[in-house]
A and B are shown apart, each in its own frame.
Chain A
Amino acid sequence: MIAIVLSILSGATIVLSRQVNGYFTKYTSASTSTFMNYFTGLISSIIVFIFYGISLTPHINVAKLTASPIILFGGSLSIINVFLLNILVSRIPPVALTLTTFTTQIISGMIFDYAFYGIFSPNKCIGICIVIAGLIISQMPATRSVYRSLTPGKSK
């Protein structure tokens, strides 16, 4: 239950941080905004670790880290996302971008869940389809104009 609540809250904080970062970008460049986002995040996480985290840190299994060093670089993957979004935001209508990235994110999430955690169920597939439908419904008026912009030959 706590995991469910935290997952919902992660979405809330994504929107809040996006709004604040967008506000910051007005005063500086996108690159500087991205840098400050990670820099302030690093400072904050170090402070939290010093005050709360040291006692809660388990004995680190170095063997696991050396066996799978790629788990150390999850944070650096996010820069790929930032870099690509900076390119795409001016090339794809925002709704199409949202739908495409979310759909691939959730479907790939299902694939990775099976690959890494062995999690899979038919209910999950059906639920994902319903969630995608809900997202499309909430975006629907813009979705129609996106379709027209992607198929100019068929537009009125």
Chain B
Amino acid sequence: MEILLATICGMTVSLMNILNGKLSAVTGTFLSLVVIHLTGLLAVILVLMVRHEKLTIKSGIPILAYSGGVIGVLTTLFSVVSVSKVGAASLTALSLGGQMAVSFILEHYGLLGAKQQRISLQKIIGLCVVIVGIGVMFA
């Protein structure tokens, strides 16, 4: 059951990238970002209402803590611009390469609250194999 749910997770992200890319083609990139985040926010509000959950915002939260959504806008922007040109599968593979590289750096230096973990040769080899795979996808 859990594997089925995890499968749905993966499929949802790919479908989301495709739909967002198609929306961007119709409305333009920047308006599509507004629509994407608006529908996402409305869905969150709906879930909160159904689950009778309340927002709990304490005082003294650093401003930086609010920047996740701003960075998320960049993620969405990069995805909608590139998905129609490289496709969802290549976007996923390239994104994975970026995720791995940044994760390794954050972990190696213990940045942004990441648990410090020195980069291993195995991780470097894994990243290199991913890069080779991406190269084959574009060959």
**Contact yes or no, B114 A60, CB < 8 A:** no
Q: By DSSP majority rule, is chain A's interface helix, strand, loop, or mixed?
A: helix
Q: 1/0 per position for B93-105, CB-CB distance to A under 8 A?
A: 1111111111100
**Contact yes or no, A7 B33, CB < 8 A:** no
Q: 1/0 per position for A63-90, CB-CB distance to B under 8 A?
A: 0110010111111111111011101100
Q: 1/0 per position for A38-71, CB-CB distance to B under 8 A?
A: 1111111110110011101110110011001011
Question: In chain B between 33 and 55, which residues have their CB closer than 8 angstroms to a CB of chain A?
Answer: 33-45, 47-48, 51, 53, 55
Give the contact-size bracket for chain B. Answer: 35 or more
B45 to A, closest residue via Cβ: A35
Given known pairs A9-B98, A14-B95, the reply for A139 and B126 (CB within 8 Å) is yes
**Contact yes or no, B38 A42, CB < 8 A:** yes
**Contact yes or no, A45 B33, CB < 8 A:** yes
Given known pairs A13-B75, A117-B87, the reply for A77 and B133 (CB within 8 Å) is no
Distance in Å from the Cβ of A74 to the closest Cβ of chain B? 3
Q: Which residues of B contact A22 (CB under 8 A)?
A: 113
Give the contact-size bracket for chain A. Answer: 35 or more
**Contact yes or no, A41 B37, CB < 8 A:** yes
Distance in Å from the Cβ of A146 to the closest Cβ of chain B? 12
**Contact yes or no, B14 A77, CB < 8 A:** no
Given known pairs A6-B82, A88-B6, the reply for A20 and B64 (CB within 8 Å) is yes
Check if A155 is an interface residue, CB within 8 A of chain B. no
Given known pairs A13-B71, A17-B71, A81-B9, the reply for A24 and B66 (CB within 8 Å) is yes
Closest 6 CB pairs of A and B: A138-B126, A53-B30, A11-B98, A104-B10, A127-B137, A40-B69
Q: Which of B40, B57, B130, B135 contacts A38 (CB 8 A)?
A: B40
Q: 1/0 per position for B80-116, CB-CB distance to A under 8 A?
A: 0110111111111111111111110010000011100
**Contact yes or no, B28 A41, CB < 8 A:** no
Check if A149 is an interface residue, CB within 8 A of chain B. no
Q: 1/0 per position for B12-25, CB-CB distance to A under 8 A?
A: 11111111101100
Distance in Å from the Cβ of A96 to the closest Cβ of chain B? 8
A70 to B, closest residue via Cβ: B19
Instruction: List 16 A–B pairs whose Cβ atoms lie within 8 Å, in order of A's numbering.
Output: A12-B102, A15-B98, A16-B102, A37-B72, A41-B41, A71-B26, A72-B39, A74-B17, A76-B43, A84-B8, A100-B6, A106-B14, A108-B15, A109-B92, A129-B133, A131-B137
**Contact yes or no, A134 B129, CB < 8 A:** yes
